[in-house]
Structure 1
């Protein structure tokens, strides 16, 4: 079902999949206060939905996102001069929703992505890109530090040296370099991006729930733990999953496909 109530987003909710498209193509999908508010309205309920399996995000038009629409928020920036703008903390919380929701989030970067738009993309679990995508963190040209989680998430994705290079020089990074650096995991021809997003979302959508959530948590937390605790986290996740009939059915199907004897929950 497509929700007609949004003015800056196109949102479709199938029940198991939530598809979000940044939808201000004439402004290159730059983020206004209204856009941030609508992203919040869409993502806040997702955190407590048991039916939802995957969230996708992309942009309409030639760009994914041109960052913050400074023209639209200029008056508020002027009013906030001299004090810490509390709305930036709110924006950071909205970006964090994409990282915090239990459902995997998949972003398809369909074109240039700049500043806060890149910070938003970096919060997603899986990031793929068109070969036309260009990545930039130009905030330092204005004397502004990326302020909705971009410094830490970029460094986690690429390593500190690359993140500092990209942020301090404000340089443009093409799709292939972004792939090598770890900003995205796949680059596909522009005309194939929608199909690639559909394929990935379908695979994730059909995984036994909540295995995708457990796997994401293990990947996110494991590198911060010693190897024993990381293995313990994996074991705890599988203790939960192995109590589900669907998992045993899939194990049997997998074994049968390999020509091996099937197993059941009671197999010794």
Structure 2
């Protein structure tokens, strides 16, 4: 999922040829869907077009091309959808809402009959000593990482043992030497951190047995959707305080939710 720029199409073609997916979905403008392609438009991804596209590394020999054509045409289903229209901030807002909707859909996989509400779910417990913690930009000092992870979206990763760093504090989470390639097994919300019990409380749709392979919690650029914090129907209906929030600003130019600040002397457990 994403957007293509520069050599992105060539790399994408390589990925399709190597992975050989079962389905490929493309969002395109109405003009592209009707066959009118401008110089900066991505053409419709079809079996015939993929046969003609030049990959960055994939072989273009005649024998290989014939084999790839057979594989793609027999197993790959193409789905083309009209992209939401809009310009400027409106278009950007649509993209943001779509990303947040996909994240909520993922997190709420187990909620069949009601919306996803993290405050009413039973979290998993992860001991500090079983995982490493990391912030992808590497700008956060180790002693502040727990504050960054608490109440945030993290990737559940499996990383090589050799990149993990033990800490001097017994029972404290490990760190990571650098940003290696991560094997991401899913995502979770760090619902709470208990420094007394030295455990993370996490919410994730992933099954419990899958968590046995997780040895790192990595904070990237994915944040909790605003609607999850500011528009929980049960709390609004009962006029209760919203978890993690002090107040909500409704100005259109900011649309900012104020997260309650904590003193560093306070426990990072909720």
Normalised by the shorter chain, which TM-score bucket?
A: under 0.3
TM-score normalised per structure 2: 0.25
Query: Structure with the greater relative contact order (CA < 8 A, sep ≥ 6): 1 or 2?
Result: 2
Which has more strand, going by share of residues?
Answer: 2
Which has more helix, going by share of residues?
Answer: 1
TM-score normalised per structure 1: 0.25
